[in-house]
Amino acid sequence: MLNPVTPELEASLRALLPAATFKNDTTPYLSEPRGRWAGQGFVVAPASTEEVASIVKACAAARIGIVPYSGGTGLVGGQLLQEGARPVVLSLERMNRIREVYASENVLVCDAGVILADVQKAAEDVGRLFPLSLASEGSARVGGLLGTNAGGVNVLRYGNARALCLGLEVVRADGSIWHGLTRLRKDNTGYDLRDLMIGAEGTLGVITGAALKLVPRPVGVGAAMMAVPSPAAALELLALAGALIGEGVSAFEIMHRQGMDFLTEVGPEYKQPFAEVPEWCVLIDVGLSAGISPEAALEGVFEKAFEAGLVTDGVIAQSHAQRDAFWHIRESIPEANRRIGSVSSHDISLPLSAIPAFIAQGEKALAEVGAFRINCFGHLGDGNLHYNVFPMPGRSRADYEAERPQVKRVVHDLVHAMAGSVSAEHGIGRLKVKDLETYGDPVKLDMLRAIKDALDPLGIMNPGAVLRQRQMPPAEV
């Protein structure tokens, strides 16, 4: 059992740290984007790794839980503790320095509280690209992105957050600091602690700094929206684009017309690229070397795909503004979803070849539960779908609370049966702890628990996230 934050601990931290560390308005740190949960906690915002270490040491001595807080954009409750002993909420927002940029090495070292868009800008300033990109990049912070092993739209070409990180600096559960900010690309000296911390969601330690990989900026970029008759055709189009363009395909997104219908219904406003909204369409984004025209490459893909019956219509961006307009559609869908209010949202991944069957079987299985609108969209190139279930017109998600657990179970059972994952890029947090127990391999769960117990024996690091809190003897007060 953990102890709650006491007035004595608050007083000791205030005596130890500068006044700017403490937040008067804690409301923004105790809520999440979908409004489903409210958290609790004493909010602190240290400005250095040493200050983080001091806070962690004090919490370990008093056996008080710590909830790391990054950009607050997580969707599985990993940044909130609703129940149990009141924790310390440790925000990284003041740790926002770009420490060093090594352009010739294609490496950037930064604090964990740096906003993703600022990393992208720092890379651009030296003629490089940091390719991690997602809708929340204006507020998501590096620590949270690494803690959840975030994906985004460019995983097809550049990999997820794990693939874009060389080294880490981490404050461990006892307050000691692991100085692992290596810039090496080859280092086979024991277990890979970096990969252990990435995706751990703050349950093994607090990431305070990162060495990130940069890549050369593509000389020519382009995008196209293509209407496809089915998800199966979209997969064939993905293979065709890969065969013709190779690694130049940066992103390959699939969208169902329901997403565009939602945009029309509640916004954000967008410009429809097709004369008639297709049932399914894909957004292909490319980045190519000098001397290769993105427009010509995409035209070649469209021509061959049209001949093969894989596309029925298409629009190729003729300017950066038009490319941005295509991406505005894709990136606005989550906001439209939020405005509609989902019954149940699912961040899932599947083997690519299983996706068409999943989409068809999922619709039939949910029809047996009730009448819903399904908005299926996402990163087809890496098998990650956002499969979200919504109320019928005229009804709200509150009308479906009784059906919500069954909807989630139907979707996740089918994903598991098809050798997929019920958490593709959002993490486990607290929302999916039971799902991990239900669908996870028992041996894997035993290994996860062994790692947690070894690195955080008191269970103070983000208690209840990823793994259920272990029942321990009462803590001494």
Give the whole-angstrom CA distance, residue 443 versus residue 11. 44
Give the whole-angstrom CA distance, residue 208 versus residue 199. 14
Q: pLDDT at residue 475 above 60?
A: no
Digit-coded pLDDT (tens) for 414-423: 999 999 999 9
Give the whole-angstrom CA distance, residue 209 versus residue 200. 15
DSSP β-ladder status, 249-256 and 384-390: unpaired
Q: pLDDT at residue 477 above 50?
A: no
Give the whole-angstrom CA distance, residue 232 versus residue 218. 30
Give the whole-angstrom CA distance, residue 30 versus residue 27. 5
What average pLDDT does range 369-391 have in this prediction?
98
Digit-coded pLDDT (tens) for 200-228: 999 999 999 999 999 999 999 999 999 99
Digit-coded pLDDT (tens) for 310-347: 999 999 999 999 999 999 999 999 999 999 999 999 99
Q: pLDDT at residue 476 above 60?
A: no
Digit-coded pLDDT (tens) for 101-150: 999 999 999 999 999 999 999 999 999 999 999 989 999 999 999 999 99
Query: 219 near 289, Cβ under 8 Å?
Result: yes
Look at residue 474 in the predicted model and tell me its pLDDT: 56
Q: What is the mean pLDDT of the chain?
A: 96
- On the question of a cis peptide bond just before residue 268, with omega within 30 degrees of 0, the verdict is yes
Residue bearing tokens 């272990």? 470
Give the whole-angstrom CA distance, residue 30 versus residue 43. 9
Query: 378 near 384, Cβ under 8 Å?
Result: yes
Digit-coded pLDDT (tens) for 252-300: 999 999 999 999 999 999 999 999 999 999 999 999 999 999 999 999 9
Query: 202 near 255, Cβ under 8 Å?
Result: no
Digit-coded pLDDT (tens) for 9-27: 999 999 999 999 999 899 9
CB neighbours of residue 418 within 10 Å: 17
Which sign does the torsion angle of CA 121, 123, 125, 128 carry?
Answer: negative
* Cα 251 versus chain centre, distance: 16
Residue 126's φ and ψ, nearest 5 degrees, are -110, 20
Structure-model confidence comparison of residues 350 and 36, the more confident one: 350
* Cα 451 versus chain centre, distance: 23
Give the whole-angstrom CA distance, residue 198 versus residue 148. 7
Query: 289 near 242, Cβ under 8 Å?
Result: no
**DSSP letters of 329-343?**
HHHHHHHHHHHH--S
**pTM passes above 0.75:** yes
Query: 377 near 333, Cβ under 8 Å?
Result: yes
DSSP 8-state class, residue 353? G
Digit-coded pLDDT (tens) for 53-103: 999 999 999 999 999 999 998 989 999 999 999 999 999 999 999 999 999
Look at residue 472 in the predicted model and tell me its pLDDT: 62
The angle at the Cα of 171, spanning 165 to 172, to the nearest 5 degrees, equals 110
Give the whole-angstrom CA distance, residue 101 versus residue 212. 10
Give the whole-angstrom CA distance, residue 285 versus residue 256. 18
Provide the 3-class DSSP secondary structure of residue 476: coil
Query: Which secondary-structure segment (H or E) carries 237?
Result: helix 231-245
* Cα 375 versus chain centre, distance: 18
How far from 78 is each of 197, 346, 386, 451, CA to CA, in Å? 15, 16, 19, 19
Give the whole-angstrom CA distance, residue 206 versus residue 204. 7
Give the whole-angstrom CA distance, residue 456 versus residue 203. 8
* Cα 411 versus chain centre, distance: 20
Give the whole-angstrom CA distance, residue 341 versus residue 335. 10
Beta bridge partners of 251: 285
**What are 359-366's contacts with CB under 8 Å, separation 24+?**
359/231, 361/414, 362/387, 362/410, 362/411, 362/414, 365/410, 365/411, 365/414, 366/407, 366/410, 366/411
Q: pLDDT at residue 38 above 90?
A: no
DSSP 8-state class, residue 201? T
